[in-house]
A and B are shown apart, each in its own frame.
Chain A
Amino acid sequence: MSAAKWRRAMNSSNAAALAPSRASAHALPSTLRSTVNDSAADTATRHWMSSAWNALSLRHLAVIAVIAIALLYPVLATPFFTFQIGAQSLALGLIALSLTFLGGYGGMVSLAQMTVAGLAGYLFAIFGSSSMPAISLGWPWWLALVFALTLATAFAAAVGWLSVRTEGIYTIMITLAIGVAFFYLAQQNYTLFNGFQGFSKVTAPSVAGIDFREPLPFYYLVLVCASGGYFFVKHLVRAPFGAALQGIRDNPRRMQALGYNVTAHRVGGYAVAGLLAAVGGVLMVWYNGRISPGTVGTGAMINILIIAVLGGMKHPIGAFVGAIVFVLLQNFAIDLVDRERFNLVIGGVFLAIVLFSPDGLLGLWAKLRSRFGPGTPTFKTKRRLQ
């Protein structure tokens, strides 16, 4: 079993999964379609087996290169690039990863992932220490961290429980509503969230003499969390739970008939995504050193969706690719054009990517590879087979 196998299986069935007709998945046509998909997936698998070796060596080379770059990056880059570009991209990518998992593998697009991340950050500030000793409880950082992650995950599960009964655009609407409600709660509540000003001086801890506020240790901390999240998702989508979740994404009625508890799996999916987002949220708070309602505002919520779509939702790595491009654009678009028009560049690039490649940058990459790259044979034959 490998990621490649699942990805191919997904590629062939995703069109069906994302089609609006899923909402009214009434028996026959959709069942038929998914049978076809299954057989397509099977063929793809068999094909993959045969060409495993030559694909493997290439893949491994690429993977090793990525790992080497990620590890050596701070040695080559300035502290600015290490901290503001590297660490921020990875932390944002982790939050976007939670959406990629939920949307790509669970078929549920939730706009509330930034809200979950923000709640984790707020909870860490409330349980831990901050500039507001009247509110912050001043617990040791590890205890605050455990409580923040647990409660944020529980909150994500509750959001899931509320929204799993809806489909498609209604899921987006309900999670948007939850996110906006949380934003206003944080802005107007003074006893818990300290209103407009929020919390500052929420810092990363020092453990065993390593100060995680410094760019280099912080980068590696975020790298460990991000790659942990990435491999966790890659593993999970091959595990029975992940497979069931994808089955539910493609045909919930059928899975129900097979005896799977659809609601429980979906809520579980939200909880898992919630944990990823919560870790990303705490990292973001450590990165910024502060949190205020602006962190969980509508703009921030939509940014996460943009990152996920920009990178491509068919593979977990897309979230990180999207985040890197997003952060680079946010930082350097202002140097490219007139200072007051730089958002035009950001918007233009997003539009172009989404227009030319609905599957984001990963889709663009796959397209280019199928046209020019050395891996062409595998792709072409695969196409013919389908």
Chain B
Amino acid sequence: MKAMKKILTRSMLGTAAVAALMGGLVQGAWAQETLKVGVLASLEGPFAAPGQDSMRGADLALKHHNGMAGGKKIEFVKVSSDATPDKAVNSTRKAVEQDKVQIMIGPLSGDEGIAVKNYAKTQPNITFINGSSGAQAATLLDPAPNFFRFNTEGAQWMVGLGEHALAKGYKRTFLIAEDYGFPYSQVQGFMASYCAKGGKVIDKAWVPLGTKDYASVIAKIPKDIDALVVVLGGSDAVNFLTQYEQAGGNKPMVGGSITVDQTVLNFKGKRRESLLGTASAGPMADSIDTPEWKKFVADYKASFKDGFPSPSLFAYLYYINTKAALDALDVVKGDLSGGQKAYRDALQKTKFMGPAGEVRIDDNRNGVGTTYITEVTKAADGSFYNKVVKTVPNISQTLGLSDAEFKKMGLGSRDVPDCRK
């Protein structure tokens, strides 16, 4: 009996060893067909939560491809930054030079994008695809031939909002925005058409990121304006709104792409009702009424039990960029030889119907896409949401202006554009 048991054990061990060996061999064969793709997002620091959602967007795109592209198994090498450009470049360098990824997706925020674009120039054999960063300069100034961005950027997201504000009768506005690159772009996107059509932004208040006390800004707001243009994000927007209400302010608002989010919509102050009708714009909206968007939201919810109630902007942007990267791999059948030239040509020609409109790129390898103009509306259950009131398709990086006109205006900054008088 004992001997039997021994033999049995031995034979089982032997079988296991052979199986393990076979498995190893099979895996070895498979490894040949694995393609490494790096994904960089901010999993630490101030953008940790959006960074996590970015990864969900990338994962969802890979899931829609069944984990394969161009006949190869895709392996994501995920790296993290803390939203500083230094860390973004360090992490990208690690993925490219140490983990040997051939395609790199990321980063999340604007200045990181510029830094990664500069790094891309030192690695001509690797293709870099943006994650969700939206700095104008990444593709407009001194672009890298191997850096692609399928999403539109901060200025493009605001195109059409200027006309919409004028249509609502806001002829004179006062602007309050955070003092860094992304709001500069947003403000330019708004003002380019707003100023051209006769609107006046009589003064701008640039406040540092994370400002708590808006008393001095509120004191400066003149009486004879029609509306406020508020390009603040997250807690800054809520702080401003609360203090503006306490100071007795009653002007309507126009918001930036990340201003009127859930924290603002859940605002409980007395002015809550006056939020109704606040217009803002962005590359997507929760309430888009197309089958593509609804499928995207349903897939997101089904795939990520721990995710947000609805995919965030970041998940959406990483999704379309990752999808573009994988689609182009399918086109070239996973062939990345010859310095990835064929792959880049395929990327350049990539064009598909994304969850929120068509996705394609221009000659600077920057996205041309749709902007959604929304207004805060009351739902049947009394909660507030952003209702899509207008879609503006085919927005280029020159904001609908000709190249010469756009060049004359220059990139958005504190003083550009300007229409006080």
**Which of chain A's residues has its CB closest to B110's CB?**
A197
Q: Are A196 and B114 in contact (CB under 8 A)?
A: no
**Which of chain B's residues has its CB closest to A287's CB?**
B86
29 pairs from A and B in contact (CB 8 Å cutoff): A78-B97, A80-B93, A80-B94, A80-B97, A83-B93, A84-B90, A84-B97, A88-B90, A188-B179, A195-B180, A196-B179, A196-B180, A197-B180, A201-B118, A288-B85, A289-B89, A290-B85, A292-B84, A292-B86, A294-B84, A294-B86, A295-B86, A299-B82, A331-B90, A331-B98, A340-B43, A340-B55, A342-B80, A343-B44
A383 at the interface (CB under 8 A from B): no
Given A190-B414, A197-B181, A339-B80, A331 contacting B44 (CB threshold 8 A) = no
Q: Report chain A residues within 8 Å CB of B115.
A: 200, 290
A-B pairs with lowest CB-CB distance, top 5: A80-B97, A294-B84, A196-B180, A339-B78, A288-B86
A163 at the interface (CB under 8 A from B): no
Chain B interface residues toward A at CB < 8 A: 43-44, 52, 55, 78-80, 82-86, 89-90, 93-94, 97-98, 111, 114-115, 118, 179-181, 208-209, 414
**8 Å CB interface, A181-206 against B:** 184, 187-188, 190, 195-197, 200-201
**Of the candidates B52, B86, B93, which one forms a contact with A340 in the assembled complex, judged by CB atoms under 8 Å apart?**
B52
A79 at the interface (CB under 8 A from B): yes
- In the complex, A79 Cα to B100 Cα: how many Å? 12
- In the complex, A197 Cα to B55 Cα: how many Å? 25
Closest chain A CB from B264 CB (angstroms): 23
Q: Report chain B residues within 8 Å CB of A334.
A: 78-80
Q: Report chain A residues within 8 Å CB of B84.
A: 292, 294-295, 297
Q: Report chain A residues within 8 Å CB of B414.
A: 190
Q: Report chain B residues within 8 Å CB of A88.
A: 90
**Which of chain A's residues has its CB closest to B97's CB?**
A80
Extra pairs beyond A84-B93, A294-B85, A297-B84 (16, CB < 8 Å): A80-B93, A80-B98, A83-B93, A197-B111, A200-B118, A201-B118, A292-B85, A292-B111, A294-B84, A294-B86, A295-B86, A331-B94, A334-B78, A340-B55, A342-B80, A343-B44
Closest chain A CB from B278 CB (angstroms): 26
Q: Report chain B residues within 8 Å CB of A188.
A: 179, 208
Q: Report chain B residues within 8 Å CB of A83.
A: 93
- In the complex, A81 Cα to B114 Cα: how many Å? 24
Q: Report chain A residues within 8 Å CB of B82.
A: 294, 299
Q: Are A339 and B55 in contact (CB under 8 A)?
A: yes
Q: Report chain B residues within 8 Å CB of A294.
A: 82-86
- In the complex, A271 Cα to B82 Cα: how many Å? 32
The interface bits of chain A over 262-305 (1 if a CB of B lies within 8 angstroms of the residue's CB, else 0) are 00000000000000000000000000111010110101000000
- In the complex, A294 Cα to B97 Cα: how many Å? 24
Q: Report chain B residues within 8 Å CB of A190.
A: 179, 414
- In the complex, A81 Cα to B97 Cα: how many Å? 9
Given A188-B208, A339-B78, A339-B80, A79 contacting B52 (CB threshold 8 A) = no
Q: Report chain B residues within 8 Å CB of A330.
A: 90
**Which of chain B's residues has its CB closest to A339's CB?**
B78
Specify the main secondary structure of chain A where it touches its partner: helix
Q: Report chain B residues within 8 Å CB of A184.
A: 208
**Which of chain A's residues has its CB closest to B178's CB?**
A196
**Of the candidates B94, B181, B208, which one forms a contact with A187 in the assembled complex, judged by CB atoms under 8 Å apart?**
B208
- In the complex, A290 Cα to B97 Cα: how many Å? 20
- In the complex, A84 Cα to B83 Cα: how many Å? 18
**8 Å CB interface, A317-352 against B:** 330-331, 334, 339-340, 342-343
Q: Are A288 and B89 in contact (CB under 8 A)?
A: yes
- In the complex, A77 Cα to B395 Cα: how many Å? 47
Q: Report chain A residues within 8 Å CB of B208.
A: 184, 187-188
Q: Are A290 and B86 in contact (CB under 8 A)?
A: yes
**8 Å CB interface, A78-135 against B:** 78-81, 83-84, 88
Q: Are B179 and A84 in contact (CB under 8 A)?
A: no
**Which of chain B's residues has its CB closest to A79's CB?**
B97
**Which of chain B's residues has its CB closest to A294's CB?**
B84
Q: Report chain B residues within 8 Å CB of A292.
A: 84-86, 111
- In the complex, A88 Cα to B86 Cα: how many Å? 12
Q: Report chain B residues within 8 Å CB of A290.
A: 85-86, 115
Closest chain A CB from B154 CB (angstroms): 14
The interface bits of chain A over 163-194 (1 if a CB of B lies within 8 angstroms of the residue's CB, else 0) are 00000000000000000000010011010000
**Which of chain B's residues has its CB closest to A288's CB?**
B86
Q: Are A78 and B43 in contact (CB under 8 A)?
A: no
- In the complex, A294 Cα to B180 Cα: how many Å? 13
Q: Report chain B residues within 8 Å CB of A343.
A: 44
**Of the candidates A79, A289, A297, which one forms a contact with B118 in the assembled complex, judged by CB atoms under 8 Å apart?**
A289
**Which of chain A's residues has its CB closest to B44's CB?**
A343
Q: Report chain A residues within 8 Å CB of B97.
A: 78-80, 84
Interface centre among B85, B93, B118 (most CB of A within 10 A): B85
Closest chain A CB from B322 CB (angstroms): 16
**Which of chain A's residues has its CB closest to B79's CB?**
A334
Q: Are B85 and A84 in contact (CB under 8 A)?
A: no
Q: Report chain B residues within 8 Å CB of A340.
A: 43, 52, 55
Q: Report chain B residues within 8 Å CB of A331.
A: 90, 94, 98
- In the complex, A105 Cα to B131 Cα: how many Å? 47
Closest chain B CB from A363 CB (angstroms): 29
Closest chain B CB from A131 CB (angstroms): 9
- In the complex, A297 Cα to B94 Cα: how many Å? 23
Q: Report chain B residues within 8 Å CB of A200.
A: 85, 114-115, 118
Q: Report chain B residues within 8 Å CB of A187.
A: 208-209
- In the complex, A343 Cα to B414 Cα: how many Å? 37
Closest chain B CB from A81 CB (angstroms): 8
Q: Report chain A residues within 8 Å CB of B55.
A: 339-340
Q: Report chain A residues within 8 Å CB of B44.
A: 343
Q: Are B209 and A196 in contact (CB under 8 A)?
A: yes
The interface bits of chain A over 144-180 (1 if a CB of B lies within 8 angstroms of the residue's CB, else 0) are 0000000000000000000000000000000000000
Q: Report chain B residues within 8 Å CB of A84.
A: 90, 93-94, 97-98
- In the complex, A289 Cα to B82 Cα: how many Å? 18
Given A187-B208, A197-B111, A294-B84, A78 contacting B98 (CB threshold 8 A) = yes
Q: Are B90 and A195 in contact (CB under 8 A)?
A: no
Closest chain A CB from B117 CB (angstroms): 10
Q: Report chain A residues within 8 Å CB of B52.
A: 340
- In the complex, A340 Cα to B414 Cα: how many Å? 36
Q: Are B179 and A195 in contact (CB under 8 A)?
A: yes
- In the complex, A200 Cα to B112 Cα: how many Å? 11
Q: Report chain A residues within 8 Å CB of B118.
A: 200-201, 289
Q: Report chain A residues within 8 Å CB of B180.
A: 195-197
Q: Report chain A residues within 8 Å CB of B98.
A: 78, 80-81, 84, 331
Q: Report chain A residues within 8 Å CB of B181.
A: 196-197
- In the complex, A17 Cα to B414 Cα: how many Å? 52
Closest chain B CB from A145 CB (angstroms): 21
